[in-house]
Chains A and B, each alone.
Chain A
Amino acid sequence: MSELSSEDFIPFKSVGVIKLEWLKEFARVSGDYNPIHQDEVVAKAMGLPGVIAHGMLISSLIHSRACEVISDYKNLRGFHIGVSQTRFKAMTFLGDEISIGGQWQVMGSNEIRLELQAKNQKGEINVLTVFTLLR
């Protein structure tokens, strides 16, 4: 457990490779059964190159990483995520390996932001989330 400094970067860490079984499980636990996340025929009929991952799966992986990162800093005890703002910038496809990392933005003693990005194996940013931490 360490002290937060405004210079701190969160190193990118792989959270896994997107597989159809994972998307089916996310559909079950989230209730989002949009067929473009499971059925290649439907995805292609909708003009997509193939099955794409649920944006909220990637966003949730980012949220999980954020909670883990926050718990690593002893001077963030008592803080929690008050606001999260996610932008889905690019689609995530089957076979993509997702890594998550980012940086802190310490705006003042009462305002801390954490920006995390999910990148694929090509280094393209798929999803970006900015968290505002509140005490």
Chain B
Amino acid sequence: MIQSFKEKIGLKSIERKVTLTEVEMKDFAVCVKATVGNTVHTPITSVSIPSVFTRFREGEFEIIDGLGIKLSQVLHAEQEYKIVAPLFPNQELKYETKLTGVLEKKGTGAKLAFLVFETDFVRIHDLALLAVAKSTMVYRELK
């Protein structure tokens, strides 16, 4: 099965358009105990920290499903965010996710595949790049 993943390198999710409301951003901030945002040194009501982009992983989930993998079979190994511009509430964004790499490894008791996904987040009104997320997920092929 892992071999078939390699053939899917380059696979893209559909493009999604999203907006995070002030309430959604605040709920996220409260849950992860964020009190200060990334761009200003004063507390703000709807705190944006870089990891808020984790809110937009539907593209990854779509590709994982497309590979025939259950979400429960994958674990997060690495996550990187490059933040180009701040994310504010009610900004319209678009993003799509791409499977950019598959690396096979042998673990104890299971074959492992490291799946690398990249997602570009673009502000719709001026097409400015806001952030790039790179996720590495581990799939365990249980015996």
| A residues less than 8 Å from B105 (CB atoms) | none
Chain A residue at minimal CB-CB distance from B43 = A71
Q: What is the CA–CA distance of A64 and B54 in the complex, to the nearest angstrom?
A: 14
Partner of A67, one of B37, B54, B110: B37
| A residues less than 8 Å from B37 (CB atoms) | 67
**For residues 32 through 88 of chain B, which have their beta carbon under 8 Å from a beta carbon of chain A?**
32-39, 41-42, 47, 49-52, 54-58, 71-83, 86
Of B51, B57, B58, chain A has the most CB atoms within 10 Å of the CB of B51
Chain B residue at minimal CB-CB distance from A64 = B34
Chain B residue at minimal CB-CB distance from A57 = B32
Q: Are B35 and A68 in contact (CB under 8 A)?
A: yes
B95 to chain A, nearest CB (A): 13
| B residues less than 8 Å from A46 (CB atoms) | 72-73, 140, 142
Q: Are A88 and B49 in contact (CB under 8 A)?
A: no
Partner of A61, one of B33, B52, B86: B33
Partner of A87, one of B42, B78, B142: B78
Q: Secondary structure at chain B's binding surface: helix, strand, loop or mixed?
A: mixed
B77 to chain A, nearest CB (A): 6
Q: Are B110 and A15 in contact (CB under 8 A)?
A: no
**For residues 35 through 64 of chain A, which have their beta carbon under 8 Å from a beta carbon of chain B?**
35-36, 42-43, 45-47, 54-57, 59-61, 63-64
Interface membership of A34, Cβ < 8 A: yes
| A residues less than 8 Å from B47 (CB atoms) | 67
Interface membership of A32, Cβ < 8 A: yes
Please tell me which stretch of A4-12, A77-85, A105-113 contacts chain B, meaning at least 4 of its Cβ atoms lie within 8 angstroms of it.
Answer: A77-85
B28 to chain A, nearest CB (A): 5
Of B37, B80, B109, chain A has the most CB atoms within 10 Å of the CB of B80
CB 8 Å contact bits of A65-80 with B (1 = contact, 0 = none): 0111011000011001
B interface residues, Cβ below 8 angstroms from A: 24, 27-29, 31-39, 41-42, 47, 49-52, 54-58, 71-83, 86, 109-110, 140, 142
